[in-house]
Amino acid sequence: MQLDITVLGLGYIGLPTASIFATKGKKVLGVDVVPRVVETINRGDIHIEEPDLDVLVRAAVQSGNLRAAGKPEAASTHIVAVPTPFDVRPDGSRAPDLTYVESATRSLASVIRAGDLVILESTSPVGTTEKMKAWLEDELTRMGRKVGGEILYAHCPERILPGQMLKELVSNDRIAGGLTPEASRRAKELYRTFCTAEIFETDARTAEMAKLTENAFRDVNIAFANELSLVCDRLGINVWELIRLANRHPRVKILQPGPGVGGHCIAVDPWFIVDAAPKEARLMRVAREVNDGKPGWVMDKVRAAAAGLKAPSVACLGLAFKANIDDLRESPSLEIAAHLATEGYKVLAVEPHVHELPKALQGKAELVSLEDALTRADILLLLVDHNAFKAVPVARLRGKRVIDTRGIWNY
């Protein structure tokens, strides 16, 4: 089969992207270094949870347009959608780790041809697309391979929201940032296959910075809400009512405080800006510190609520990083539950979206039903605004020490 596209990395971004291209008639090879992922996709199953993704992947595989393998093959477009993790420095700041992007890029050297387009979708620091070009050229030289023409490179960041990915994949505006105008044009044309919204052409560095900026903007705004919650607590004001009222101003739109910021994006991406311009990016750094400090503040609240109780049991309601999903990556709720367990609290964890305790809690906490937790716990600690928790009648909270970090209960 003559391939149109290879997608390197079949995670939260790569898998939906590969599948949607395949259902639109493109011949796609999904590449992943984890054999279990390759086998799962080839069976038409999925290894991650996202509403309706199973249906899309099954349709893509059954159509014969999507298959998975451990190595890339020749195709006119190669999309890199691998993780960009980070290393934590002693001062708490984070430095991007581009190992996966580099190895995925180098793996293309044996199959790349003149005129091919290489797209970076992974969220990356400014300058990464230029680095990809250098890595691939270096690998070609090492192999003694000449492709005999230009290879095109572009950064096309993904902005889909976990929980609403399939809808947003099609309807979000996109950015096509090429190292050359021709690369931007080719990338734009490619995403037209399924994207019904506007696609803007720009250069690669602007595209890289745009993606980081979007998540840093949200982080700073969440930090404002989280800081307000601390101030209001100190002053005896209900922060949720305050925000509701302030948001009646036509130009004010304050976000919601919570137990901290989780997920693999918002809590990480601002660091890529801070790392690149530490002297200038002061506000973004402080915002990160405010949001990262919130779990510690919540734990202080639990300690205060536990005063006078012998062997207190705490129901941790929700472990996911946000409402109505099963994703526990970088979750402040999980961090809080795990910390409380190591401090000797009896932790009753409630997470309707998972079937077993995550590693961080195994042997330290009990996974129980909501009903069980409401009955048994001394302290109810609401961490995630899952719909199941919003439905708890106020009467069930009576007699309990309640800490509602999301402001969903009017008790």
In the complex with ligand SAJ, the residue whose CB is nearer, 270 or 312, is 270
List 93, 110, 180, 256, residue binding ligand SAJ (CB under 6 A): 256
Minimum CB separation of residue 162 from ligand SAJ in Å reads 4
CA atoms 244, 246, 249, 255: torsion sign: negative
List 117, 222, 328, 403, residue binding ligand SAJ (CB under 6 A): 222
Q: Does 218 bind ligand SAJ (CB under 6 A)?
A: yes
User: Interface mask (CB under 6 A) for ligand SAJ, residues 263-292, using x and -?
Assistant: x-xx--------------------------
Listed in order, strand segments (DSSP E) in 166-323 are: 174-178, 199-203, 313-317
Q: Does 322 bind ligand SAJ (CB under 6 A)?
A: yes
Q: Does 160 bind ligand SAJ (CB under 6 A)?
A: yes
List 21, 240, 272, 321, residue binding ligand SAJ (CB under 6 A): 321
Q: Token pair of 202, please?
A: 């720009």
Minimum CB separation of residue 16 from ligand SAJ in Å reads 12
10 contacts 80 by C-beta, under 8 angstroms: no
CA distance 50 to 32: 19
CA distance 32 to 7: 9
Q: Locate tokens 């430095």: which residue?
A: 95
DSSP 8-state code for residue 285: H
Minimum CB separation of residue 285 from ligand SAJ in Å reads 17
316 is catalytic: no
156 is catalytic: no
CA distance 16 to 114: 27
User: Counting beta carbons within 10 angstroms of the beta carbon of residue 339, is it exposed (0 to 12), middle (13 to 18) or buried (19 or more)?
Assistant: middle
Restricting to residues 94-123, which ones interact with ligand SAJ according to CB under 6 A?
123
CA distance 46 to 53: 8
Q: Does 159 bind ligand SAJ (CB under 6 A)?
A: yes
Question: Strand 117-120 vs strand 94-96: parallel, antiparallel, or unpaired?
Answer: unpaired
Instruction: Considering the candidates 26, 211, 294, 346, report the single residue annotated as catalytic.
Output: 211
| Span of 32-40, 113-121, 152-160, 335-343 interacting with ligand SAJ by CB under 6 A | 152-160
Q: Residues interacting with ligand SAJ, by CB under 6 A?
A: 123, 158-162, 214-215, 218, 222, 225, 255-256, 258, 261-263, 265-266, 321-322
Q: Which residues are catalytic?
A: 211, 265
